[in-house]
């Protein structure tokens, strides 16, 4: 493990960036500017010169932001905010292994944050060489395993190859990997399929297992601690199905877990791949959490391309100039809309059906990271932290919730994601345009319509405009561009956390519900073990009221 850069001088460096967001000079400047933001509905507001100028590029993506309510003065103040908060300096400290997952003066996880090290294997000089070495070692193990599968060195009991893989995990062990696989299904190895079981609802597992030839199926169980209740419950459901089919689970099951965890057990798993404490679940898609499944489904070469794209965007995030750093610029535009223009939510709208689960992943990545109400010093926030993230692919959303975005009373900033060409290239001309051209035209039209609006004598047909958006546009959704897109949003989220002076790397908010659920489960277990158990409790906690009210039978 990389030596924690959280003691002595380096921890002091981290602390020096822990400034109150509302006490920075740029905060006051932006507050004043927000009283009269740029008017996108004014004549000539979206000039060709503005559209050309308000555009930046990195790792194959153009970020078009002319449809934001900013001008050069606002951008200069946002640049100052980035510098005052030390956003890029903190990002570099993160990549070097500083202990940023911490709350000063209070018990906390006290961990490094090194998800970028998983793809630093393509950088000439890694900033965290030991962590990168660990990632490289696991990738080498995976490459050997995949090669043995391909060559017929690893087969089932009947000597047949494996055609399917089921990923069993929840949260970060499911959302990011699933989003990536669905996004890149066009690149899958012929004859191989990947499936996902995450919900502890037994119907989730049953629906997947009922359609599989278990004899030719691998199961990849993902849990860093080896003790995640939902995952272990689903694992046992799946093991039972294998045993009932007369199969030996240990010849079919893989583990992605922490070294030395209860799941690091060669008697129960065909192979074990390691994940490390320095990589949080929602940032883990490019670690073994996603790599094992992606390697099986897409092949090792495509997995490498995902990592290359992510690394390219990680490098772009190091640039101090916000106009040349798409993740930082996107973070700052989000702060401008959320903290200064008052927008509570953010719609992320991919114009690609392949990205059908990408917004769901970003909900966790953003809302679990930045849904915080205390600073890194444990003080209550005097400013808003993360927005509510939501969205669905276009153009379907246009026939659903876009009505509210255009004419509702809430201003909802939007981030559109699109591609100039389709993945499969299967298209045709209808009324002299292709389907992909229709898709991109709709994306761009929505951004323009939200910005400019439409005056009309009929108030029901009047569009106020001045509804901000950005467009992220690449040539095609490929493994490389998917890796870049993933890393762009990861960096955006951590930049916002640095600027708000919150810890974007823990998730204490999920713990209380887990604790109460454990007590409710004890009630069920008590009834099952002891027919005389009456469900009595020794405190006045809310769950006892559920028993008393008869919601949970005694």
Q: Could you list the active site residues?
A: 368, 399, 514
CB 44 within 8 A of CB 298: no
> Kindly report the CA angle at 179 between 251 and 121, in degrees rounded to 5?
75
CB 194 within 8 A of CB 167: yes
- What are the tokens at 507? 């998730």
What are the beta bridge partners of residue 62? Answer: 57, 473
What are the beta bridge partners of residue 274? Answer: 257
Q: Which of 184, 179, 154 is nearest to 169 (CA)?
A: 179
What are the beta bridge partners of residue 471? Answer: 64, 416
- What are the tokens at 466? 């001045």
How far is it, in rounded angstroms, from Cα 65 to Cα 333? Answer: 9
> Kindly report the CA angle at 502 between 411 and 509, in degrees rounded to 5?
85
Q: Sheet of 414-419: strands edge to edge?
A: 55-58, 61-64, 469-474, 414-419, 345-350, 388-390
Identify the helix (H) or strand (E) that includes residue 521: helix 511-529
248: Cα separation from own chain's centroid: 35
How far is it, in rounded angstroms, from Cα 68 to Cα 278? Answer: 36
How far is it, in rounded angstroms, from Cα 367 to Cα 338? Answer: 14
- What are the tokens at 144? 């050997």
Identify the helix (H) or strand (E) that includes residue 165: strand 164-168
How far is it, in rounded angstroms, from Cα 63 to Cα 334? Answer: 14
How far is it, in rounded angstroms, from Cα 457 to Cα 455? Answer: 7
Cβ burial of 318 (10 Å; 0-12, 13-18, 19+) is middle
How far is it, in rounded angstroms, from Cα 377 to Cα 484? Answer: 32
Q: Which residue has the tokens 């679940």?
A: 281
């Amino acid at each position: 493990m990389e030596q924690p850069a959280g003691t002595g001088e380096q921890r002091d460096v981290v602390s020096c960036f822990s400034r109150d967001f509302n006490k920075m000079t740029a905060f006051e400047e932006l507050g004043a500017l927000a009283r009269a933001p740029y008017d996108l509905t004014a004549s000539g507001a979206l000039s060709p010169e503005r559209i050309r100028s308000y555009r930046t590029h990195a790792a194959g993506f153009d970020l078009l932001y002319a449809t934001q309510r900013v001008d050069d003065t606002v951008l200069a103040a946002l640049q100052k905010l980035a510098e005052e908060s030390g956003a890029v300096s903190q990002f570099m400290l993160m990549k070097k292994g500083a202990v940023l997952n911490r709350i000063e003066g209070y018990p906390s996880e006290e961990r490094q944050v090194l998800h970028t090290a998983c793809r630093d294997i393509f950088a000439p000089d890694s900033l965290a060489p030991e962590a990168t070495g660990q990632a490289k070692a696991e990738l080498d193990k995976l490459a050997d395993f995949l090669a043995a599968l391909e060559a017929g060195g690893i087969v089932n009991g009947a000597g047949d190859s494996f055609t399917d893989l089921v990923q069993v995990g929840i949260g970060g062990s499911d959302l990011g990997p699933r989003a990536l696989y669905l996004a890149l299904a066009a690149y899958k190895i012929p004859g191989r399929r990947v499936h996902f079981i995450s919900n502890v609802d037994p119907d989730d597992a049953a629906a997947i297992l009922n359609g599989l030839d278990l004899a030719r199926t691998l199961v990849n169980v993902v849990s860093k601690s080896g003790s995640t209740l939902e995952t272990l419950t689903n694992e046992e459901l799946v093991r039972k199905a294998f045993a009932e089919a007369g199969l030996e689970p240990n010849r079919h099951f893989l583990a992605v877990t922490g070294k030395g965890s209860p799941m690091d057990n060669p008697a129960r798993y065909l192979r074990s791949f390691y994940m490390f404490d320095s990589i949080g679940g929602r940032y883990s898609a490019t670690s073994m959490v996603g790599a094992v499944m992606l390697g099986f489904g897409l092949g090792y070469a495509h997995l490498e391309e995902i990592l290359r794209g992510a690394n390219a965007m990680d490098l772009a995030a190091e640039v101090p100039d916000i106009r040349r750093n798409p993740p930082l610029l996107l973070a700052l535009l989000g702060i401008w809309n959320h903290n200064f223009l008052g927008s509570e939510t953010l719609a992320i709208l991919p114009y690609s059906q392949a990205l059908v689960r990408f917004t769901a992943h970003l909900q966790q990545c953003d809302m679990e990271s930045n849904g915080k109400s205390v600073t890194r010093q444990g003080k209550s926030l005097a400013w808003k932290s993360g927005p509510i993230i939501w969205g669905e692919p276009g153009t379907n959303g246009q026939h659903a919730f876009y009505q509210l975005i255009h004419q509702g009373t809430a201003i909802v900033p939007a981030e559109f994601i699109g591609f100039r060409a389709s993945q499969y290239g299967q298209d045709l001309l209808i009324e002299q345009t292709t389907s992909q051209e229709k898709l991109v035209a709709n994306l761009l039209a929505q951004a323009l319509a939200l910005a400019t609006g439409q005056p009309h004598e009929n108030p029901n047909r009047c569009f106020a405009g001045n509804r901000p958006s950005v467009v992220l546009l690449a040539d095609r959704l490929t493994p490389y561009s998917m890796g870049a897109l993933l890393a762009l949003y990861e960096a955006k989220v951590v930049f916002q956390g640095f600027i708000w002076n919150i810890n974007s790397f823990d998730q204490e908010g999920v713990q209380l519900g887990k604790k109460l659920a454990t007590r409710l489960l004890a009630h069920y277990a008590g009834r099952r073990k002891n027919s005389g158990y009456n469900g009595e409790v020794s405190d006045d906690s809310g769950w006892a009221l559920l028993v008393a009210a008869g919601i949970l039978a005694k």
